[in-house]
């Protein structure tokens, strides 16, 4: 089984996220935030993304934060595929995995509805065997709860799973679940950050995905 994070692993979503963040801020007459800074905030779902963004611009701790979050969520969820594309080599590698007869899963801290919508629009409905995003009944990554749900759904062992991600949250989630965890250095975090988290393996290009073998 191959399980992939979405943002920064399968899809380069930073232009879309950055655009929608800054348009939301503009609508509330707030300062714009550099894309590079927003990239640092991605990985823990939209609530944490907005909180970190508003902290960065020094916005007050008030109920208005919830309105800004809701505004961003609606804006992004209306068209999550906008300015979004797979990283070079991802589609070809996924095809190889499917030809191998492996189970293909997308697993993210994005809201579940948004995950299903963006994956369906980019890769096609039914391309992935399962898509799991954040739901209120499941703890977010780095909790291994989502990984457990995926494992049980398909009746596989943890030893059968490869998990690919690009962030601290992903590396911790994989470790917490006890699965073979692969850091993807083409994503939203520098390679050095991934190295410090000591995943089982770090790869620098999507073209390396299908070459990984169980030992």
Question: Where a domain ends, among 78, 102, 127?
Answer: 78
Domain that holds residue 136: 2-12+85-211
Look up the pTM and report it.
0.94
Give the dihedral of Cα atoms 187, 188, 189, 191; nearest 10 deg.
20
CATH of the domain at 119: 3.40.50.1000
**Strands annotated E in the chain:** 2-4, 11-12, 85-86, 104-111, 130-134, 162-165, 180-184, 201-203
209 contacts 93 by C-beta, under 8 angstroms: yes
pLDDT of residue 214: 72
Same domain (yes/no): 95, 74: no
Same domain (yes/no): 164, 58: no
Structurally, the chain folds into a number of domains equal to 2
Same domain (yes/no): 30, 6: no
182 contacts 163 by C-beta, under 8 angstroms: yes
Same domain (yes/no): 6, 19: no
Same domain (yes/no): 110, 7: yes
pLDDT of residue 213: 83
As a whole number of angstroms, the longest Cα–Cα distance in the chain is 55
pLDDT of residue 209: 98
Instruction: Average pLDDT across each block of 10 residues of the chain; the chain has 215 residues. List them in order.
Output: 98 97 98 96 94 97 96 95 98 97 97 96 97 96 97 96 97 97 97 97 97 81
Same domain (yes/no): 18, 6: no
């Amino acid at each position: 089984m191959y399980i992939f994070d979405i943002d920064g692993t399968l899809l380069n979503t930073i232009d879309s996220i950055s655009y929608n963040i800054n348009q939301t801020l503009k609508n509330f007459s707030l300062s714009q935030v550099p894309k590079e800074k927003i990239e640092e905030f991605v990985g823990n779902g939209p609530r944490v993304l907005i909180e970190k963004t508003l902290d960065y611009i020094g916005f007050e701790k008030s109920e208005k934060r919830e309105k800004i979050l809701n505004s961003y969520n609606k804006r992004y969820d209306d068209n999550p595929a906008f300015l979004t594309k797979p990283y070079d080599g991802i589609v070809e590698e996924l095809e190889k995995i499917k030809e191998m007869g492996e189970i293909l899963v997308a697993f993210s801290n994005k809201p579940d509805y948004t995950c299903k919508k963006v994956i369906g629009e980019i890769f096609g409905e039914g391309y992935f065997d399962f898509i799991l995003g954040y739901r209120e009944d499941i703890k977010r990554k780095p909790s291994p709860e989502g990984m457990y749900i995926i494992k049980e759904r398909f009746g596989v062992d943890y030893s059968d799973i490869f998990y690919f991600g690009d962030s601290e949250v992903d590396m911790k989630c994989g470790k917490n679940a006890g699965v073979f965890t692969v850091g993807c250095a083409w994503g939203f975090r520098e390679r050095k950050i991934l190295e410090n988290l000591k995943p089982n393996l770090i790869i620098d290009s999507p073209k390396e995905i299908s070459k990984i073998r169980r030992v």
